[in-house]
A and B are shown apart, each in its own frame.
Chain A
């Protein structure tokens, strides 16, 4: 199974890098978060970047941005390019195809998250050199690594679920964006509707660690749910007829 998954990842990563026939666009997509999160943010936030947990932004936004760009290609892209049926007619088992595509997106999104965390550390140390190397506090590093992984899994499994049924990459991207942005929109609406004093009170009383635990638990539950639904929906006959 591992060799088969590696074959899928090998092929999908090649297609990902040749996305839209334009290598410059791919390069630009990859460079934007590197410059923003890896260079600009650590310079702007300075010590806060290392010691107050602002780096969690990388763990949340990077998988969100990169995986939501890559995962719609998984099945909707194969369907759009008329390559899906040939892939389904191959000897690859259902779960291998499913997990191969899921892992490819996760490796891309989570890999970039780790690269950005490391880059931001390097940049911070270059700018704020104190004679010794500064790294994230253990609990911040653990939060960044685990939230990044859970976020990658959640966006990838939700994206694959949408991509399984979408007829085009564009429609899959739009649906995925709408679903992912809905919670943010609800928070914004709630912030607008609630009295200002109440909002200030909530923000004052937020416990970073407690909020993180709740957020991670929600992500974990979403991961498991989307994955199970995705696996159930992956049936060759349905994919073939669609």
Chain B
């Protein structure tokens, strides 16, 4: 059993004058879905290309499934599956032939290949349409087929670069369900880049946030939320007039205040005592019907992390 599925150490990549990755260091445990988040141009795709040995680092090193990305790239590509920026399907060929080709490429024996193609296409709900050229398919169907292609040879590690980007809500949800089911049944390690925080929160047990090629934070989604230290107090009531809001803003633990339609949202620093704030509101003449303490969402944590250094 491998100790680590991915091990990246001080990985740096320069493209002429641009530094795409800057001493990136992280580890991915086997058997988990690892989310790799970052704004556009943060270095996510470059990292995936380096993990596949498609790009050489300027300095640093990375190991994937125990293989070195510079000297053992062929071994890495043999036991991983990758869904990159584009789905990579041959749209003039039918769905079955697309999988057949990559089954042959992965040297799967004929009977095993046929059975696996049927199994995956059935699971994805595409078996009945296997003889159709994929060019007429919806984007969601193509993405599902691409996912089936990635999982075809039962890779130990799957690298997915924004697999639900550009899909409508039902299609994205369907791809996520398929991914969740397949990962659960086959125990594959997944390295997933996404812009969708709900997706990351739902699928990932570990998340890393990257910006300008540098690692900003890493941990379980709950840990990241806790580490961000910020919390939100939501109060439902009335009388949230400007002098009341000014009194709140004057408090040092209050970072931001927003009132709308009887809802008051107060962003707090870590040390805030919400009971004191509720007392203050009442003393200022506001009526409080309900008060809820909420931790920051992953999206807020992400925005804080990527905007901190801006």
Contacts and interface: CB of A to CB of B under 8 A. Distances in A.
A233 interface: no
Interface string B74-95: 1001100010111111111100
A11 B90 contact: yes
Most buried by B among A4, A6, A85, A93: A85
A17 to B, nearest CB: 9
Interface string B45-64: 00001001111100000000
A80 B49 CA distance: 19
A15 interface: yes
Interface in A83-97: 83, 85-93
Contact of B105 (A14, A21, A83, A92): A92
B101 A10 contact: yes
A15 B98 CA distance: 11
Given A91-B106, A237-B56, A15 B90 contact: yes
Interface string B14-57: 01000000000000000000000000000000000100111110
B90 A236 contact: no
A90 B106 CA distance: 8
A10 B104 CA distance: 10
Contacts of A82: 85-88
Summarize B's interface: helix, strand, loop or mixed: loop
A123 interface: no
Nearest to A97: B105
B227 interface: no
A145 interface: no
A241 B101 contact: no
Nearest to A14: B93
B93 A18 contact: yes
A89 B77 contact: yes
A112 B135 CA distance: 30
Contacts of B91: 81
A7 interface: yes
Nearest to B76: A91
Contacts, number: 73
A85 B53 CA distance: 12
A14 B92 CA distance: 9
B97 interface: yes
B102 interface: yes
Contact of A85 (B84, B93, B97, B135): B84
A187 interface: no
Given A11-B101, A14-B93, A240-B55, A85 B74 contact: no
B214 to A, nearest CB: 22
B77 A91 contact: yes
B93 A86 contact: no
Contacts of A15: 90, 92-93
Nearest to B83: A86
B129 interface: no
Contacts of A89: 52, 54, 77, 82, 84
Nearest to B81: A89
A3 interface: yes
B30 to A, nearest CB: 20
Contacts of A81: 90-91
Contact of A237 (B54, B74, B85, B89): B54
B293 interface: no
Contacts of A93: 74
A90 B84 contact: no
B107 A83 contact: no
B261 to A, nearest CB: 46
A85 to B, nearest CB: 5
A51 B55 CA distance: 57
Contacts of B106: 90-91
A7 B52 CA distance: 21
B115 to A, nearest CB: 19
A78 to B, nearest CB: 9
A15 B90 CA distance: 8
A82 B88 CA distance: 6
A241 B15 CA distance: 10
Interface of A: 3-4, 6-7, 10-11, 14-15, 18-19, 21, 81-83, 85-93, 236-237, 240-241
23 contacts: A3-B104, A3-B107, A10-B104, A11-B93, A11-B97, A14-B93, A21-B92, A21-B135, A81-B90, A82-B87, A83-B89, A83-B90, A85-B54, A85-B86, A86-B86, A89-B52, A90-B77, A90-B102, A91-B78, A237-B54, A237-B55, A237-B56, A240-B49
Pairs of residues from A and B, 8 with the lowest C-beta to C-beta distance, nearest first:
A86-B88, A82-B86, A7-B104, A91-B78, A18-B92, A89-B82, A11-B101, A240-B54
Given A241-B15, A241-B55, 16 more contacts: A4-B105, A4-B107, A10-B101, A18-B92, A21-B92, A82-B85, A85-B54, A85-B85, A88-B54, A89-B54, A90-B102, A91-B105, A92-B105, A237-B54, A240-B49, A240-B55
